[in-house]
Amino acid sequence: MTKDEFYMGKALAEAKTAYAVGEIPIGAVIVYEKKVVARAYNLRESLPCATAHAELLAIEKACRALNRWRLTGCTLYVTVEPCPMCAGAIVNSRLDRVVYGCDDPKAGAVRSLFHLVDNDCLNHRTEVTAGVRAEECAALMKDFFRQRRKK
């Protein structure tokens, strides 16, 4: 198992917690110097708050844990490709790297619809690795929405 697959497993565990509480199953972890400094899952329904995406919650926690807003030296692992709002936060927080599981063809702002995090027009560019444990990430999302449609 690669380092990326290992940490994506931690993000998948967060996504499974989201699923269990009725949230869209997206999980995120932020790693700094080989340690998880933040973990989160979607909480939009639970809070309720439109901005309570796993990535934003993890970024907020990492900033507090490291006592700084610049997350240079950090990698974000997230189960689903970030949306435009989260991609903006990734750029603004100066994350070095984003690793995501499955693409989001309806709202993806890293590769699918937009290329925000590595856009030359912006003041920071983030390295991207896509497709890590993609099948597992996609299966969790598909199962969640299949179950939701049954209700």
DSSP annotation string for the chain = --HHHHHHHHHHHHHHHHHHTTS---EEEEEETTEEEEEEE--TTTTT-TT--HHHHHHHHHHHHHT-S--TTEEEEEEE---HHHHHHHHHTT-SEEEEEE--TTT-TTTTS---TT-TTSS---EEEE-TTHHHHHHHHHHHHHHHHH-
Does the annotation mark 5 as catalytic?
no
pLDDT at position 14, please? 98
User: In sequence order, which residues have a C-beta less than 8 Å from that of residue 45 and are 6 or more positions away?
Assistant: 22, 23
**pLDDT surpasses 90 at 28:** yes
pLDDT at position 111, please? 96
Confirm whether residue 86 is marked as ligand binding: yes
Mean pLDDT value of segment 75-80: 98
Confirm whether residue 83 is marked as ligand binding: yes
Q: What is the pLDDT of residues 44-76, one digit of tens each?
A: 999 999 999 999 999 999 999 999 999 999 999
Average per-residue pLDDT for the chain: 97
Q: What is the pLDDT of residues 97-128, one digit of tens each?
A: 999 999 999 999 999 999 999 999 999 999 99
Mean pLDDT value of segment 30-50: 98
Residues of the chain above pLDDT 70, percent: 100
Which of 33, 55, 81, 127 does the annotation list as catalytic? Answer: 55
- The residues spanned by each domain of the chain are 3-150
Nearest partner of 100 among 108, 85, 146, judged by Cα: 108
Residue 98 has φ and ψ, to the nearest 5°, of -125, 130
Around Cβ 117, how many Cβ atoms within 10 Å? 24
Question: What predicted TM-score, i.e. pTM, was given to this entire model?
Answer: 0.97
pLDDT at position 125, please? 96
**Residue 151's pLDDT band (boundaries 50, 70, 90)?**
confident
Mean pLDDT value of segment 138-149: 95
Which numeric CATH code is attached to 3-150?
Answer: 3.40.140.10
